[in-house]
């Protein structure tokens, strides 16, 4: 992984965010009461909300705001011939070495000939290790019932190309998009949710006339970079990095990564590949079904080329958290604050009655119910108001709505802004339109 001088400088940030994730309920080690399972995580209440918001932000930009992309939701287990044709059975491998001294296993390309566990140079020759998880479909564990958990969602879109083409009457350029779980038996997972064996992918396969693919590749690089900026990552923490020829995946003619400056250095957030007609051609040959598009305007049939922006939702969530984490001082008191984009924050609004007294309950519940129809809200009436504000700052809630005893008289509430801590007094009637206007998209 390439690093830069300004990176490797911030281990404190990584620790602070990992710690916050556990303490506040974003991410838990999986099955912790059984000692966990290496590099596998469960998403807690706040993590489940935020991951959903990351997916929705992607869906909004890639599907909802366009008229040339349609979604699908394909199966995780599919016919194993898909993985044979796609090249994953033969080439979806990492080079694996064993340390003869301590028996630890490593990806040869990540350790420069030295075991990171014991420092020994006594390593085996590198051999290819297939990253796909193998399982059996049905009750018989035979070669004929072998199936694989998908290592990418992309193939679900290639094998459905014809179905989508005919049912939606699309023509290139158009895209098929999908969000879903993917599984890779990574040799060295790590860095929290950066590299895990189960993760979530957000992928677009954009089918174009062959000659247009370089132009579309450039277009999607720009679009995807802009998406991370739109949701709050500063430009200086993002860059585009074209792959060297020897780095390219087996299907790619050109790939550019969107990279983020993680606390340990620049790391991949997303790969934008020009997959040419590699996949459609492979499935056409293996299945015997023509996957060509007939262009009525020119009277020609051709296999479209594919430009693929493929992003990790779980990895993107981690980058958004790292980019948003901040510490500052309010009224002489230090606070941790997640300056998340309002659409990514687990809760958009916290409803906070100043006191637990019954007199405030009806109006507080009324405010909560009005807001819940539009935003994800948390209701909190415990502890001092200052502590509740700190808690909401730390989990990134952009707005707190406070109900006090005066609210009973004047039907007004106070809206507090997470970033500036500014407070605005507003009629209850105006709170929903006011916040809708400030939440952005
Ligand atoms: N269909 C193309 C494809 O899957 P990829 O570069 O292998 O491309 C796309 O994966 C994105 O998925 C990566 O940029 C990364 O964000 C995420 N990703 C890949 N492996 C991952 C892992 N083991 N854990 C978490 N995220 C991962």
pLDDT in tens, 199-254: 999 999 999 999 999 999 999 999 999 999 999 999 999 999 999 999 898 889 99
**pLDDT category, 6, cuts 50, 70, 90?**
very low
Report the atom number in ligand 1 closest to the C-alpha of 196.
Answer: 24
Q: Taking all residues of the chain, what is their mean pLDDT, rounded to a whole number?
A: 95
pLDDT exceeds cutoff 70 at 9: no
Asked if residue 271 has its Cβ within 6 Å of ligand 1, the reply is yes
Helix, strand, or coil (residue 391): helix
User: What is the mean pLDDT of the segment spanning 104-114?
Assistant: 92
Q: Helix axis angle, 428-439 relative to 361-372, nearest 10°?
A: 40
Residue from 156, 188, 193, 186 nearest 92 by CA = 186
Q: What is the number of alpha carbons within 13 Å of residue 35 lying toward its C-beta? A: 0
What phi-psi label fits residue 255: left (phi over 0), alpha (psi between -120 and 50 degrees) or beta? beta
User: Count of residues for the chain?
Assistant: 441
What is the distance in A from the centroid of ligand 1 to the CA of 201?
A: 7
Instruction: Note the pLDDT of residue 11.
Output: 79
What is the distance in A from the centroid of ligand 1 to the CA of 399?
A: 33
Instruction: Note the pLDDT of residue 439.
Output: 86
Report the C-alpha gap between 110 and 107 in whole angstroms. 5
Asked if residue 312 has its Cβ within 6 Å of ligand 1, the reply is yes
Residue from 310, 192, 204, 198 nearest 249 by CA = 310
Smallest CA separation from ligand 1 atom 25, residue = 195
What is the distance in A from the centroid of ligand 1 to the CA of 316?
A: 10
Instruction: With beta carbons less than 8 A apart as the criterion, state whether 176 and 72 touch.
Output: yes
**pLDDT category, 3, cuts 50, 70, 90?**
very low
Asked if residue 151 has its Cβ within 6 Å of ligand 1, the reply is no
Residue from 87, 23, 66, 63 nearest 283 by CA = 87
Instruction: Note the pLDDT of residue 441.
Output: 67
Report the atom number in ligand 1 closest to the C-alpha of 258.
Answer: 14
Residue 201: phi, psi to the nearest 5? -110, 150
pTM: 0.95
Tell me the two tokens of residue 373.
């129809």
Of 176, 224, 257, 315, the one to substitute when testing ligand 1's pocket (max ligand atoms within 8 A of C-beta) is 315
Asked if residue 205 has its Cβ within 6 Å of ligand 1, the reply is no
Tell me the two tokens of residue 289.
């079904």
pLDDT in tens, 358-379: 899 999 999 999 999 999 999 9
pLDDT exceeds cutoff 50 at 279: yes
Of 205, 312, 318, 322, the one to substitute when testing ligand 1's pocket (max ligand atoms within 8 A of C-beta) is 312
Asked if residue 199 has its Cβ within 6 Å of ligand 1, the reply is yes
CA 151, 271, 248, 209 torsion: positive or negative? positive
What is the distance in A from the centroid of ligand 1 to the CA of 312?
A: 5
Query: CA 331 → CA 338, 418, 421, distances in Å?
Result: 18, 14, 10
Of 87, 158, 271, the one to substitute when testing ligand 1's pocket (max ligand atoms within 8 A of C-beta) is 271
Asked if residue 202 has its Cβ within 6 Å of ligand 1, the reply is no
Report the atom number in ligand 1 closest to the C-alpha of 268.
Answer: 14
Smallest CA separation from ligand 1 atom 21, residue = 195
What phi-psi label fits residue 150: left (phi over 0), alpha (psi between -120 and 50 degrees) or beta? beta
What phi-psi label fits residue 138: left (phi over 0), alpha (psi between -120 and 50 degrees) or beta? left
CA 4, 218, 52, 190 torsion: positive or negative? negative
Asked if residue 259 has its Cβ within 6 Å of ligand 1, the reply is no
pLDDT in tens, 48-68: 999 999 999 999 999 999 999
């Amino acid at each position: 992984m390439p690093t830069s001088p300004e990176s490797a400088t911030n281990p404190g940030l990584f620790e602070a965010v990992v710690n916050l994730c556990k303490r506040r309920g974003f991410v838990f080690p999986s099955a912790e009461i059984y000692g966990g399972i290496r590099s596998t995580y469960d998403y807690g209440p706040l993590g489940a909300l935020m991951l959903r918001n990351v997916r929705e932000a992607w869906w909004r930009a890639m599907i909802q705001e366009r008229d040339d992309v349609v979604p699908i939701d394909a199966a995780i287990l599919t016919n194993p011939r898909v993985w044979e044709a796609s090249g994953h059975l033969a080439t979806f491998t990492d080079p694996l070495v064993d340390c003869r001294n301590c028996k630890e296993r490593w990806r040869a390309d990540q350790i420069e000939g030295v075991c990171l566990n014991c420092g020994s140079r006594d390593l085996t020759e590198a051999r290819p290790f297939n990253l796909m998880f193998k399982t059996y479909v049905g009750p018989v564990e035979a070669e004929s019932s072998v199936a694989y958990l998908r290592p990418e969602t992309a193939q679900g879109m290639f094998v459905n190309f014809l179905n989508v083409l005919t049912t939606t009457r699309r023509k290139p350029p158009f895209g098929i998009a999908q969000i879903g779980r993917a599984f890779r038996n990574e040799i060295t997972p790590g860095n929290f949710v950066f590299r895990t064996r189960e993760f979530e992918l957000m992928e677009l396969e954009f089918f174009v006339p062959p000659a247009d693919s370089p132009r579309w590749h450039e277009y999607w690089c720009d679009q995807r970079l802009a998406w991370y900026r739109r949701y709050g990552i500063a430009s200086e923490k993002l860059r585009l990095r074209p792959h060297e020829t020897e780095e390219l995946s087996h299907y790619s003619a050109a790939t550019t990564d969107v990279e983020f400056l993680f606390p340990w250095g620049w790391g991949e957030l997303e790969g934008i590949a020009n997959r040419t007609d590699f996949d459609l051609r492979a499935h056409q040959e293996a299945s015997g079904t023509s996957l060509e598009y007939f262009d009525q305007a020119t009277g020609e049939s051709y296999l479209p080329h594919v430009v693929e922006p493929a992003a990790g939702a779980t990895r993107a969530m981690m980058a958004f958290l790292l980019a948003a984490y901040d510490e500052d001082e309010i009224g002489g008191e230090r606070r941790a604050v997640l300056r998340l984009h309002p659409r990514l924050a687990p809760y958009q609004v916290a409803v906070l009655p100043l006191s637990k007294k019954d007199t405030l309950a009806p109006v507080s519940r009324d405010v909560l119910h009005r807001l819940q129809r539009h935003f994800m809200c948390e209701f909190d009436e415990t502890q001092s108001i200052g502590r509740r504000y700190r808690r909401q700052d730390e989990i990134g809630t952009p707005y707190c709505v406070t109900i006090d005893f005066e609210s009973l008289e004047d039907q007004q509430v106070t809206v507090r802004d997470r970033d500036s801590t500014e407070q605005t007094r507003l009629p209850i009637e105006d709170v929903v339109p006011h916040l809708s206007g400030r939440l952005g998209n």
